[in-house]
Homo-oligomer: A and B are copies of this chain.
Amino acid sequence: MTKEFAPDLSVKLGRLHLKNPVSVCSGTFGYGEEFSDFYNPSELGALVTKSVTLEERAGNPPPRIVETPSGILNSIGIQNVGVKRFLEEKVPFLQTLKTVRIVSVAGSTQEEYVEVVKMLEGTKGIDAVEINISCPNVKEGGMSFGVSAGSAAALTAAVRRATAMPLIVKLSPNVTDIVEIARAVVDAGAEILSLVNTFRAIAIDIKTRKPALGAVTGGLSGPAIKPLALFHIFQIALKMDVPVIGMGGIMTGDDALEFVFAGAHAVAVGTANFIDPFTPLRIIEHLKEYCRLNNVLKFTSLIGEAKKQIG
In angstroms, how far is the closest chain B Cβ from the Cβ of A232?
9
Q: Decide: B228 and A199 in contact? CB cutoff 8 A.
A: yes
Q: Decide: B71 and A203 in contact? CB cutoff 8 A.
A: no
Name the one of B68, B216, B261 contacting A204, with C-beta atoms under 8 angstroms.
B261
Known: A211-B310, A234-B202, A309-B209. A220 touches B216 (CB 8 A): no
Interface residues of A in 33-56 (CB under 8 A from B): none
Interface residues of A in 242-270 (CB under 8 A from B): 249, 254, 257-258, 261-262
In angstroms, how far is the closest chain B Cβ from the Cβ of A88?
38
Q: Is A227 among interface residues, defined by CB-CB distance under 8 A?
A: yes
In angstroms, how far is the closest chain B Cβ from the Cβ of A135?
16
In angstroms, how far is the closest chain B Cβ from the Cβ of A141?
12
With A and B bound together, what is the CA distance between A261 and B210 in angstroms? 8
Main SS of the interface on chain A?
mixed
Name the one of B175, B210, B223, B310 contacting A176, with C-beta atoms under 8 angstroms.
B175
Interface residues of A in 138-156 (CB under 8 A from B): 147-148
Q: Decide: B202 and A227 in contact? CB cutoff 8 A.
A: yes
Q: How many copies does the complex hold?
A: 2
A203-225: CB near B (< 8 Å → 1, else 0) gives 11010111100001100101111
Q: Is A295 among interface residues, defined by CB-CB distance under 8 A?
A: no
- Beta-carbon nearest neighbor of A302 in chain B: B209
Contacting residues, chain B, for A210 (C-beta < 8 A): 261, 305-306, 309-310
With A and B bound together, what is the CA distance between A305 and B211 in angstroms? 10
Name the one of B70, B174, B200, B227 contacting A203, with C-beta atoms under 8 angstroms.
B227
Known: A206-B257, A230-B203, A234-B202. A306 touches B69 (CB 8 A): no
Known: A174-B176, A176-B175. A71 touches B227 (CB 8 A): yes
With A and B bound together, what is the CA distance between A222 and B224 in angstroms? 10
Contacting residues, chain B, for A227 (C-beta < 8 A): 68, 71, 73, 201-203, 220
- Beta-carbon nearest neighbor of A234 in chain B: B202
In angstroms, how far is the closest chain B Cβ from the Cβ of A248?
11
Q: Is A5 among interface residues, defined by CB-CB distance under 8 A?
A: no
- Can you give 23 contacting A-B residue pairs, CB < 8 Å? A68-B227, A69-B70, A69-B222, A69-B224, A69-B226, A70-B71, A70-B223, A147-B176, A148-B176, A176-B176, A199-B228, A200-B231, A202-B230, A202-B262, A204-B258, A206-B261, A209-B302, A209-B305, A209-B306, A209-B309, A210-B306, A211-B306, A217-B231
* A-to-B contact residues, CB < 8 Å: 68-71, 73, 147-148, 174-177, 199-204, 206, 208-211, 216-217, 220, 222-228, 230-231, 234, 249, 254, 257-258, 261-262, 302, 305-306, 309-310
In the complex, the 9 A-B pairs of residues with the closest C-beta atoms, listed nearest first: A69-B223, A201-B227, A70-B70, A224-B224, A69-B70, A209-B305, A204-B258, A210-B309, A68-B227
